[in-house]
Structure 1
Amino acid sequence: MKKYISLFLLSSFLVVTSCDDRFAELNTDPNRPGADVFDPNLILPVATYGYGNMLTGYSGPILFQSMWIQSLASTSTGGANYYSNADKYVISGSTNSYIQGVWNNGYQIASRINQMQSLARTKDLSNLDAVGGIFKASTLAFVSDVYGDVPYTEGLQAEEGITQPKYDSQSEAYMAMLTDLETSLASLNPAGDPIRNDVMYGGDLEKWRKFGYSVMLKMALRLVKVDPAAAQTWVQKAVAGGVFTSPDDDALIPSDQANGYSNQSANALNVVDDIYEVRWSDKTIDFLQATNDPRLSIVAEVPPAGLAANRDGVVEGNSDPAVQIGLPNGFDLTGGAFDITTHPEYPGPTGTGGDIAIIGAYSRPTAIYRDRDAPVFALTYAEVQLLLADAAVRGLASGSAAEYYKNGVEAAFVSIGKFGGRTVAIEDITDYTDANPLDQSTTDASLKMINEQIWVTTSLFANFVEAWNNWKRTGYPELTPVNFPGNFSSGQIPRRQPYPAGESGVNGESLNAAVSRMGGDDWITRTWWDGGN
């Protein structure tokens, strides 16, 4: 990955031309290629790594959605104690910086992809152009899911003179993205130009096609509450086009710690305070224990006794499922009414003397989540099968919801091994699926079971924004909000991130129009498709 990214960074300045022809002539380095010979395939790995960063770490997901969705929990409180943004919906010293992470990353990625597509078109690299279109639609749909209305039809057109693009309503943006995605997928040609420097799929166009249609499926299901007819149309197009067919199709973005391209969530969880503060929530641990889920011993451990061990990310804890205890959301260690030691099920501290860990007996993520070389799980076959189960229950797709559900659970157990840790034994997978078939007694029972599984699966893959988006769409799992003093969301689970503060200075008129249309710019304003609960 480093080779491709470094080459791009070295050459990216060369595609910028000056309006002073004489200046360009005098300042052209004959030893460096210009846009006429620069290979736009070199941009793809940079965009891919950036996409992974958007989904992870301090760009927002681990500091917001991981605990909004009650996958993780923390005892941190306000001020500089940054997990207060997530666990208690309380402003920290850097909240305004975290707010803009997805926005800035998303538009930077999309801009690079746009540049790649522009260069690809000049060289008749139609497949690279199409892959760029697939990736761009997925990127900006992600941004829209987090914020709502976004610049799309006029976005990324600064070279054409549009420096203050209008914000499309989310409904308009989604329809345009889906149409552009369909167009890009239709233009993929196995006999055309090969995709080079592809760190996600190694240039395999068939996998890119499946990825694009799987993205289409996910986007289509966002529409079930606001436009059921459109949802059905796009679900059926996705299925007909061909979505993921096995875990081999998983969209995983590789990390490369040795060369400076590490997994950003792992970077966060290796911070000493994070090792100590971040635990699995009781919602997650209870869910896994209720069905003897074999993933529990892979993802959770109780640290050894004492403060030093609880702050050590290298020491191995006890992963016995029977001893795992989830931390309730919304508690702290400040000695007041919300102190975790006052909770009726508080298991007590560990250690003795000056080595006491007050929080010590709660389950933390295992070392797989601190592995800086772990891949980023962008979209998986497991999630796609569970989405198809949801679509089948709603009558939007043919096939057996129970079979899709079983396939999704089995695949989730297989793909958890791709973190690089232990895997789930085949016999344990079979035992679990035999003991936990889809509840088809009612439509609601089926949807509850399917979407709770999407929540826990995407959470365990550290794709916390996806878990949050699917909760907004469906209302599952059923969550009790935290109502911590001084919270910024009126005691409600946040439904979106406010726009970056800088937008008011650079594109204020368009921003104000979007805010007026959406009905506000706060943490609980619902975006167009958000009607789950």
Structure 2
Amino acid sequence: LMQVDAPRSSTSGGGLHRYVVNPGSAVWSSFYGYFNDIQDIYTISDKLGENNYKAIALVYKSWAYSILTDLYGDIPYSQATQAISGVVKPTFDDQKSIYVQILKDLETANSLFDDTKALTYAGDLVYNSNALTSGKNLGIQKWKKFCNSLRLRLLLRILKKDGEINVMEQINSILSNTTANPVFASNSDEAIFKYPGTTPYFNPYYNARQLDWRDGTYFTKFFLEKLNATQDPRRAIWAIPVTVSGQSVFQGIESGYPITTEYVVGKNSSYTDALKTLPQLGVMMTFAEVEFIKAELSLKGYGTGKTPKAHYEAGITASMLQWGATMPPNFLTQAGVVYDDAATQDQQLEQIMVQKYYAYFFVDYQSWFEKRRTGYPVLPRGTGIPAENQFPSRVPYPTYLQSLNPEGLKTGVTSMGGDDSNIKVWWEK
């Protein structure tokens, strides 16, 4: 959908790359399973007086619910984990209410974190906040940074709803007091579950078949075009070159191509096999993203302490470091990358969002959410996309809800104004 990759052949005429979005259940089903576990952690921690566990549970809950509501819009929230109390058909909450509560939960989590205490029962696989170092829990400090970085992500997403929620006030409160509200300050802070490569913690793509990983999926022309033009060093980490006219090149395919098209196996660039074993693919949020968030906020007049250009360059540098790429000395000053602070505000925003797009590689659905929010990056329309198909704004609800929770589903569909992929969620309206 965001033209990172596309299938080698698609004769059905459907598929995400032709702006056809079918009802999705995979994320819905798995996330609601996680929510029960997260709620159990919070409830038990509350009884035991374990505030750090409570705070971590709130951050996980907020991170996951924000993804789910940005995918679907209105979803079960306030009653979602109350089956044990007899609520098996939860009502659907509107997205505005969900965002309000998520932001409150993150603010609560920020106040609960205590870096003078270790996690009593250990179990932290993200920041290893299981022990103290010189009297401080460095992992809990990073959890707190993740908490506030996530707040910035979500506040920026709903910025144009400031008239309904005090978005600007909350952003300024974070930026003006980084001691109380710390955010990511380096790559070592970012929220990434690094798969150790031992049972059961393998990279989720570890066992991907070659048919699916390399032979059936290729990078798109759009994705590789800018990487090629700027000789981006991340390109070789992500993509396999192919030989064209005796030259080794990185070559992509059209996204949204006609149904009569079928690309030949091995003639276009696909994912490297190294990505299947890299540990750093369990990405929740990166330092690079925070710098691009600050670049946009600085561009819009918020006090971040640096210029949009400085944050923009820091974001690119952080993404390079995250992927283990060596950035050439002149990379940031070359055409196609150099930040033009004399451009219009909209043109500067586009520069920021294009680089943010690449920094979102392997980060859930964030690039799609941000495209819907800003309109960037500008994606070419595939020649095989029917004229009536529009760039989608959401995923339709899972069809099994028609039998499992028809009352709740009806409420959600009515509130949303429909259930097709062109219905805009609250923050996009």
Give the TM-score of the pair, scaled to structure 2. 0.88
CA contact (8 A) 2:332 2:338 kept: yes
Aligned to 1:230: 166
Does residue 465 (structure 1) correspond to residue 365 (structure 2)? The answer is yes
Aligned to 2:16: 86
Aligned to 2:135: none
CA contact (8 A) 1:481 1:493 kept: no
Cα distance in 2 for partners of 1:141, 1:477 equals: 22
Cα deviation digits, residues 374-412 of structure 1 (max 9, x gap): 531221000110111011112244331111111111101
Aligned to 1:480: 380
Number of aligned residue pairs: give it.
409
Between stretches 389-398 and 513-522, larger displacement belongs to 389-398
Between stretches 257-266 and 469-478, larger displacement belongs to 257-266
Could you say if the C-alpha distance between residues 114 and 255 of structure 1 is closer, same or farther in structure 2, counting changes exceeding 3 Å? same
Aligned to 2:345: 443
Q: Relative contact order (C-alpha < 8 Å, sep 6+): which is higher?
A: 2
Aligned to 2:421: 523
Aligned to 2:311: 404
> Which protein has the bigger helix share?
1
Cα distance in 2 for partners of 1:457, 1:134 equals: 22
Could you say if the C-alpha distance between residues 370 and 253 of structure 1 is closer, same or farther in structure 2, counting changes exceeding 3 Å? same
Between stretches 442-451 and 257-266, larger displacement belongs to 257-266
Q: CA deviation at 1:490?
A: 4.0
Q: Which residue identity is paired with 2:194?
A: P
RMSD over equivalenced CA pairs, Å? 2.5
Does residue 295 (structure 1) correspond to residue 234 (structure 2)? The answer is yes
Q: CA deviation at 1:113?
A: 0.7
Cα distance in 2 for partners of 1:483, 1:119 equals: 55
CA contact (8 A) 1:235 1:397 kept: no
Aligned to 2:125: 199
Between stretches 241-250 and 192-201, larger displacement belongs to 192-201
Q: Which residue identity is paired with 2:253?
A: L
Could you say if the C-alpha distance between residues 470 and 197 of structure 1 is closer, same or farther in structure 2, counting changes exceeding 3 Å? same
CA contact (8 A) 1:302 1:361 kept: no
Does residue 160 (structure 1) correspond to residue 67 (structure 2)? The answer is no
Does residue 379 (structure 1) correspond to residue 320 (structure 2)? The answer is no
1:235-246 to 2 correspondence within 5 Å? 235-239=171-175, 240=177, 241-246=181-186
CA contact (8 A) 1:210 1:242 kept: yes
1:157-196 to 2 correspondence within 5 Å? 157-194=82-119, 196=122
Identity %: 26
Cα distance in 2 for partners of 1:226, 1:70 equals: 28
Cα distance in 1 for partners of 2:167, 2:226 equals: 30
Q: CA deviation at 1:439?
A: 1.8
CA contact (8 A) 2:288 2:316 kept: yes
2:15 aligned counterpart, secondary structure: helix
Query: What is the aligned counterpart of 1:281 among 220, 233, 237?
Result: 220
Aligned to 2:406: 508
CA contact (8 A) 2:192 2:280 kept: no
Cα distance in 1 for partners of 2:256, 2:101 equals: 40
Aligned to 1:45: none
Q: Which residue identity is paired with 1:210?
A: K
1:200-219 to 2 correspondence within 5 Å? 200-203=126-129, 204-219=139-154
Q: CA deviation at 1:132?
A: 0.6
Q: CA deviation at 1:372?
A: 6.6
Query: What is the aligned counterpart of 1:453 among 343, 355, 361?
Result: 355
Does residue 75 (structure 1) correspond to residue 75 (structure 2)? The answer is no
Larger radius of gyration: 1
CA contact (8 A) 1:331 1:339 kept: no
Q: CA deviation at 1:457?
A: 1.4
Cα deviation digits, residues 330-373 of structure 1 (max 9, x gap): 236x7x3x455xxxxxxxxxxxxxxxxx2433111222322275
